[in-house]
Amino acid sequence: MPIRRMLFGLALVAILAPTVQGAALRAIRLGFGDQKTRLVFELDKAVSYQVQSDDSTVSLRFPTLEVPAAVLAGARNDLGGLVRAIDQRTGAEETTFRLAVPEPFYLRHFDLADPARVVIDVYRRVDDAPAEPPPGTLAGLDDPVDTTALRPDPLDSALVPALTPPETPGTETTKVDLTEPEPDDSLAGVAGDFRAGGLPGGLLLALAGVIVLTVAIVFLNLRRARRIRRISMDDPELPTVSRDDPAFQAILEEERRR
């Protein structure tokens, strides 16, 4: 009976062992750039992880992992860029990787699936670098976008004709001369006389002639009217003549002709 129980226990352990066994590290890959170093930890299954950092060290913690010696040795041989050393320690409950970064830096990290991976991006810190990693995890897949590259260039002079609307066929374009006309010197003398408060000599003579002619016409008309009235009212030779008499009308007509 005890032997049967022992055999059953061994079988149960053999069945459950794959489910309780920790994940295994398959590879550590590195990539380098002028301002960034990337480390990719590839696992045989997805697990949780934690990242911490100080001025010169990055700590990456997993639940206890199986770390093949060849994988760690290959990563150490490939080191470069901002990461100068990598150390690994495995305890009863966790496995920790420590990355030595001797110059100022900041981090971004995220995880991927199929296969399970944890990506650590170490950036060289410059004066305008953010003090903390940007929010979001998937944003770390690509470098920050340089918005200055999206600014439009100044308008090229070669494009200016393209901005002018085309003329409609069959229509004529009228050009308007916006230049101010030059002053006419021929009117300068007249304008000067008016500004001085007087009139030119020719204009004065013409005005005087018109006045004299008007006075003469008025005088002649008044004189003629006076003579006609005297004939019709005071002439003793026609005391009894009616105004409607043809003889009287003939006399009036003769006086008018004079």
Q: What is the pLDDT of residues 183-233, one digit of tens each?
A: 555 555 545 554 545 556 677 788 888 898 898 898 888 877 777 666 555
Could you give the CA distance from residue 46 to residue 24 in angstroms, rounded to a whole number? Answer: 10
Closest of 84, 79, 116 to residue 100, by C-alpha: 84
Using alpha carbons only, how large is the chain's radius of gyration in Å? Answer: 60
Q: For 48-85, what is each residue's pLDDT tens digit?
A: 999 999 999 999 999 999 999 999 999 999 999 999 99
Alpha-carbon distance of 3 to 12, in angstroms, equals 14
Please return the burial class of 218, using the count of CB atoms within 10 Å of its CB with bins 0-12, 13-18 and 19+: exposed
What does the block give as tokens for 53? Answer: 């950092």
Reported pTM? 0.45
Distances (CA, A) of 14 to 21, 22, 44, 63, 198: 11, 15, 20, 22, 132
Instruction: Return the closest-CA partner of residue 49 out of 133, 100, 117.
Output: 117
